[in-house]
Amino acid sequence: MKVLITGGAGFVGDRLARTLLARGTLGGRRIEQLLLTDQYAPRADLLADPRVQARTGPLLDQCQALRGERLDGVFHLASAVSGECELDFDLGLRSNLDSTRALLDALRADVGAGAAPARLVFSSSVAVFGPDAAVPMPAIVTDTTLPTPQTSYGTHKLVCEHLVSDYTRKGYVDGRSARLMTVTVRPGKPNGAASSFFSGIIREPLAGVEAICPVAPTVSHPVSSPQRTVEGLIAVFEASREAYGGRTALNLPGLNVTVQQMLDALEAVAGPAVRARVRFERDERIAGIVANWPSGARADRAAALGLHPEADYANIIRQYIADCRQAGATDALKGMTP
């Protein structure tokens, strides 16, 4: 089978690509070809796999060429992140809304030419939820909570969920939308996401660098490890239509933790000197965005698919440390006493 990952060089996309290549199959079929589109090139070792083909550039510019590819499976992860969309309204519309529409239309064109509908998993986000004066947000959002997004990013994700649902209803694609919780710990540099600090307050201290936490320690949020997130995307892809249930987006599992609990876990795993590198300094822009995010989530439909959150946040930190060690990224852990 031929599988596409959009955003295939990103944090989640890279891990998903490696997981799929290691499995060799998806939904019981052999993966013959794995197409990765991204603004950036995938890492060299991924490219070295003969099954991998990379196409670099904005997704919107690539969708015309995707017509005729007769893709069997698509993981649509490419997205401008929340902070970027708040700063550049047109970028958000183009990267998140127009690109998704163009991708769906490319898949639809192949169905029009006689292909079977591609199975597609769209990575939506917990950012679809938010409080509105007319609709208070519950503390814990569920699969059936009314989404009233309070960012452009969340708006585009919600809009695309509904487009995926309608293209699915028409038989143009076999689509499913899975709402990712905030994925931590992201390696590398901070990105433009308002949620970037949820990784930064763990990643930087472990690397021996000071980190600033822009929100109060009492802030609670549903988070997921990269591994559980990738497992979730694959499980949603492999689920039968009946097991997925309907066409409405589902929540992927999240561990509901406070910043305080994250830092307690950091101390338990890496010691008090590491934790002491986190300083609290409120950033009104970030705090304002985060205040409109849910403090926790429940994922009943995902649980019915056998998906569950990590047991505790220390697990997530240990996974990050193990990943760094496996990648030989010694600098990333140089703040830890050996």
Q: Which residues bind a copy of itself (CB under 8 A)?
A: 89, 93, 101, 132-135, 143-146, 148-150, 152, 155, 158-159, 162-163, 165-166, 169-170, 172, 245-248, 250, 301
User: Where would I find the H helices in the chain?
Assistant: 11-23, 44-47, 59-66, 82-87, 89-92, 99-112, 152-169, 196-206, 226-238, 241-244, 259-270, 272-275, 284-291, 300-304, 313-326
Closest CB to a copy of itself among 165 and 184? 165
> Least distance from C-beta 102 to a copy of itself, angstroms?
12
Query: CA 266 → CA 276, 284, 315, distances in Å?
Result: 10, 25, 10
Closest CB to a copy of itself among 203 and 301? 301
Closest CB to a copy of itself among 241 and 334? 241
> Least distance from C-beta 308 to a copy of itself, angstroms?
19
**Residues with active-site annotation:** 153
Q: Within 10 A of 70 (CB to CB), how many other CB atoms are there?
A: 15
Closest CB to a copy of itself among 61 and 132? 132
**Residue 79: closest CA among 97, 63, 67:** 97
Please state, in angstroms and rounded to a whole number, the distance separating the CA atoms of residues 233 and 238: 9
CB burial readout 4-36, b (16+ within 10 A) else e = bbbbbbbbbbbbbbbbbeeeeebeeeebeebbb
Contact 175, 167 (CB under 8 A): yes
Closest CB to a copy of itself among 135 and 273? 135
> Least distance from C-beta 294 to a copy of itself, angstroms?
15
> Least distance from C-beta 152 to a copy of itself, angstroms?
5
> Least distance from C-beta 69 to a copy of itself, angstroms?
21
